[in-house]
Amino acid sequence: MGVMALDNPDEQNADFWDEPCGMAFAGQRGYDIDVPAGLDGFDEAYFEFYPYLRSYVDRALAGATSVVEVGLGLGTTSRYMARKVERYLGIDVAGGPCRFVERSFSDRGLVGKFLANSILRIQPEDVGELFDAAVAIGSLHHTGDLSLAVKRLEALVKPGGKILIMVYNEFELRRMLERPGRALGHAIIRHKQPNATWPETDEKARGANDTDSSGRPAPFTNYSTKRTWKTISGRGVGYRVTRENFHAIPFRPAPGGQLPRKWMLGIPARIVGTDLYVEGAVPI
C-alpha cells in the first residue's frame, strides 16, 4: 500500500505486519520457510536464538488444555504450543501471519483456529469458552494501546488461568545510552505515574527493534518498565517481570567487533536487557 494514508492503528498494523515478522531472520540464515523442512529449521534456530523462551511458555501452559495466542509472526511459538494443548486459538491483526501459520498447522497435522482481528477489538463472546492460558510474545506493545491490549487479553482467560506477555523494556541499555536525558526523565516520571508506558515517536528508534524487509519501521511501539506491570492489570493480576535478551554491543577487541550476545544473556540481561517477560495468573 505505502502511499495511502491509513488512519487508525489497527489498519496501519494490519498493513505493516501482513508480511509476517521473522522473514528477514529466515532470509539472512537461508531458511526456505515455504517448505516444511525449511520452516522446521527456522523454528530450531528461533528457539536457539531465544534459549529461555520455551521455559516461559512451558510454565504458562503447565496443566493447560487450551491457549489463546496474540501476535503470530511466522508461528514458531504457535506450533510449539499447539503440540501441547487440545484447543489453540491464534489472533493476529494481519491476514498474512494468520494464513501462513494456519497453512503450517495443516502441513503438520496440527489443529487450531485463527482470527484475523485486533486484540483491541476482541471481546470474550468472540472466542467462545475462555482459555486456560494466554500468550502474547512481542505483540501487545505494537497495538498502539498497550494498556487496553492487556485488559482485552486478560478478559479471554478463565479465573486461575495463566498469562505470559513479552514486551520491550524502556530501561534497556541501548535506549538509555542513546538518550540518557530522556531515560532519566522517564525514571523520574515513573514514580509519579507508575503505570506509564512510552510510545516511541522516533522512527529510527522504532526501526532499531522492528522493520519489514523494505526497512520500514513498525508503526507503533510502546515501551514499559517493570513498574508499569504493578498496576496495569484490569483483573488484579499480580505480574512477575523478568528481563531477558540483549542487542549486540559494539566492542572492537572482540572477534567480529561485538560482544558475543551469549555472554550478555545472563546477568547483564537480568539488569538492563531488552525484553520484559511478564507472567501472571488471573485471581480465582
Ligand X SMILES: C[S@@+](CC[C@H](N)C(=O)[O-])C[C@H]1O[C@@H](n2cnc3c(N)ncnc32)[C@H](O)[C@@H]1O
Residues that bind ligand X (CB under 6 A): 10, 13, 17, 21-22, 70-73, 77, 91-94, 97, 118-120, 137-139, 142-143, 210
Which of 61/70 has CB closer to ligand X?
70
Contact between 157 and 131 (Cβ < 8 Å): yes
Q: Which residues of 73-106 are buried (b: 16+ CB within 10 A; e: fewer)?
A: bbbbbbbbbbeebebbbbbbbbebbbebbbebbe
Which of 137/173 has CB closer to ligand X?
137
Smallest gap from Cβ 96 to ligand X, in A, equals 8
Which of 76/225 has CB closer to ligand X?
76
Separation of alpha carbons 205 and 198, rounded Å: 12
Helices (H), the chain: 9-16, 23-28, 36-49, 53-61, 76-82, 95-108, 146-154, 173-178, 180-192, 203-209, 228-231, 261-264, 267-272
Smallest gap from Cβ 264 to ligand X, in A, equals 20
Which of 94/150 has CB closer to ligand X?
94
Smallest gap from Cβ 262 to ligand X, in A, equals 20
Give the residue carrying C-alpha cell 511478564: 278
Among 69, 152, 65, CA closest to 113: 69
156: which residues sit within 8 A by CB, 6+ positions away? 68, 122, 124, 127, 130, 131, 134
Separation of alpha carbons 77 and 60, rounded Å: 12
Which of 77/225 has CB closer to ligand X?
77
The secondary structure of residue 218, as a DSSP letter, is P
Smallest gap from Cβ 189 to ligand X, in A, equals 25
Which of 11/272 has CB closer to ligand X?
11
Q: Pull the grid cell for residue 169.
A: 523494556
Smallest gap from Cβ 198 to ligand X, in A, equals 17
Separation of alpha carbons 124 and 121, rounded Å: 10
Q: Pull the grid cell for residue 175.
A: 535506549
Smallest gap from Cβ 21 to ligand X, in A, equals 4
121: which residues sit within 8 A by CB, 6+ positions away? 10, 152
Smallest gap from Cβ 66 to ligand X, in A, equals 18
Smallest gap from Cβ 171 to ligand X, in A, equals 20
Contact between 246 and 269 (Cβ < 8 Å): yes
Which of 17/171 has CB closer to ligand X?
17
Which of 114/229 has CB closer to ligand X?
114
